[in-house]
Amino acid sequence: MGGGLAGMMAGIALQQAGQNTAIVSQGQNALHFFSGTFESLQAPPVRLAELLSAAGIRVHYREGVRLMPLGTFKEAALSLDDIDLFPVPRFGKRVLIVNFLGYHDFFSSFLAEGLENQGMECRIRFLNLQELDNAKANGEMRSVQIARSMDRIWEKVVQEIRLLLKDEDTVILPQVFGLSDVTVPGRIRQAIPARVVFVGTMPPSVPGIRTQILLRRRFQLLGGTFLMGDEAVRAHEYEGVVHSIATHNLDAHYLEADNFILATGGLFSKGLRSNPFQISEPVLDLDIDHPEDRNDWYNPTFSAEQPYMGYGVKTDEKLHAVKKGEALKNVYAVGSILGNTRPELGSGAGLAIRSAFAAVDEILRSAQNDKSAQNGKEDYV
C-alpha cells in the first residue's frame, strides 16, 4: 500500500526475491517533491546501489554541501547524479545563471546573492525561447511543462548557452532536464565547456518524477503488479492477521496476500489523518501516540521542529504495525507513516529505504521459516 519511495523499494526488493507483489498507488507521492538527496543516508548500502543502478537511477556519494534553490548551502551526501556535491560552499570564480524568461519557479536572483556572499561573481541571463510558448499556451510555466519541452529541445538550449558563455567557469541551470531520459543531464555537462550545476525549482521535482517513473518501470519489468490511481480503504483482519484489503477501485474484489506493507505516507500523503481531537491511521486504525491536548501538537514558530510531524504509527522491533496494543503478525509499517517513532532508522528518504528493506528482510525470513517448517512437517509425515 503506497507507491512512494518506501513502497517502491519494498516492492522491487520483494519481487526480486521471488515474492509475487502488488503495489496500490494513489499516483502522486513524496517523490514528486524529492530534493534529490537521500537524507540521513551516508554511503549507499551495496543493496541500495544495486537496486537503483538496475532501475537506471544514477546516484553518487560524497560528504559535502549542495546548493539549494534559494541560494543557501546545505549538507548532503548520497544524492541523485543531478545534484552536485561540493567539499566547501564555493565552486568557481565566475558563474553564469541561466533561467527562462517568464519562469518564476527558479530563483536566479536569490542564487546569485547566495553565491556572491561566498565570493563568486554572478551573471544572470534569461533565455527567450519560442518553444516555451507552447508550454505556456497549455497553462502556466511550471517545472514539468518546461521539462517536457526540454526533452525535445535541450540540444538547442545547449547551443544558446554556449553562445552566452563568456569567461564563466560555471553554469547554473534549473532542474528541468532529462524528465524522460536520465542521460540528458550528463550529456549537457559534456556539451558545455564549463562546470554545469543543476539547481532545484519549486515542485514538482523533475528528477523526483523521473526517479518515480524508473522505479515503477523496474518493478513492472520484474513482474510486479502496479495498481495506479487506487488506494487501500480497509483491511480484513482476524486474530492479528490481515487476510485481504479492499481498495477504492476494486470494490468487492479483495486483494489477498501473505504479507502487507503499509507505506501510505504521512499527513500530506493521507497515510495519516487528523481531526481536531486525534491523529489516526485510516486503513487499519493502528495505534498512534500523541498528546491529547491539540495545543501540544504545534510549535508556534514555523521554522521550529513541529511535534505533529513526529507522530506516527506504533510498531514492534520488527516493524510489525501495532493495533490496540497488539502487533499484527503480517503487517509492516514503513516510510514516513512512522513519523519519528523510529529515530534509529533516520528520516525522509533514509527512513523510507531503511524501513522498507528491514520489512522486506523480515518477510523473507518468515517466508523461509514457514517453508522449512513446512518441509520439516512433510519429512515427518
Of the candidates 172, 149, 139, the one whose C-alpha atom is nearest the C-alpha of residue 71 is 172
Helix (H, G, I), strand (E, B) or coil at 158: helix
Measured from the CB atom, is 28 or 244 closer to other proteins?
28
Measured from the CB atom, is 7 or 266 closer to other proteins?
266
Place of cell 509499517: 333
- The CA distances from residue 347 to 29, 64, 228, 273, in Å, are 16, 19, 26, 20
Place of cell 558563455: 165
Measured from the CB atom, is 238 or 302 closer to other proteins?
302
Which neighbouring-strand residues pair with 282?
A: none
Closest contact distance (angstroms) between CB of 207 and other proteins is 11
Integer Cα distance of 313 and 336 in angstroms:
10
- Tell me if 322 sits within 8 A of 314, measured CB to CB: yes
Closest contact distance (angstroms) between CB of 84 and other proteins is 14
Measured from the CB atom, is 164 or 202 closer to other proteins?
202
Quote the radius of gyration of the chain (alpha carbons, Å): 23
Closest contact distance (angstroms) between CB of 139 and other proteins is 9
Measured from the CB atom, is 300 or 325 closer to other proteins?
300
- Tell me if 34 sits within 8 A of 200, measured CB to CB: no
Measured from the CB atom, is 45 or 102 closer to other proteins?
102
The separation between the first and the last C-alpha atoms of the chain, rounded to the nearest angstrom, is: 38
Measured from the CB atom, is 99 or 330 closer to other proteins?
99
How deeply is 368 buried, as exposed, middle or buried, from its count of CB atoms within 10 A (0-12, 13-18, 19+)?
Answer: exposed
The number of residues in the chain equals: 381
Closest contact distance (angstroms) between CB of 20 and other proteins is 33
Neighbouring C-beta atoms of residue 299, cutoff 10 Å: 13
Closest contact distance (angstroms) between CB of 361 and other proteins is 28
Closest contact distance (angstroms) between CB of 350 and other proteins is 12
CA dihedral sign, ordered 200, 197, 348, 247: positive
Query: Beta 170-174 vs 195-199: how paired, if at all?
Result: parallel
Which neighbouring-strand residues pair with 75?
A: 65
Integer Cα distance of 306 and 318 in angstroms:
27
> Contact residues for other proteins (CB under 8 A)?
33, 35, 39, 68-72, 74, 101-102, 104-105, 107, 109-110, 112-114, 133, 136, 140-141, 200, 202-203, 205, 266-268, 270, 273-276, 294-295, 297-298, 300-303, 306, 308-309, 348
Measured from the CB atom, is 113 or 289 closer to other proteins?
113
Closest contact distance (angstroms) between CB of 38 and other proteins is 12
Closest contact distance (angstroms) between CB of 89 and other proteins is 12
Measured from the CB atom, is 33 or 86 closer to other proteins?
33
Neighbouring C-beta atoms of residue 340, cutoff 10 Å: 16
Closest contact distance (angstroms) between CB of 118 and other proteins is 13
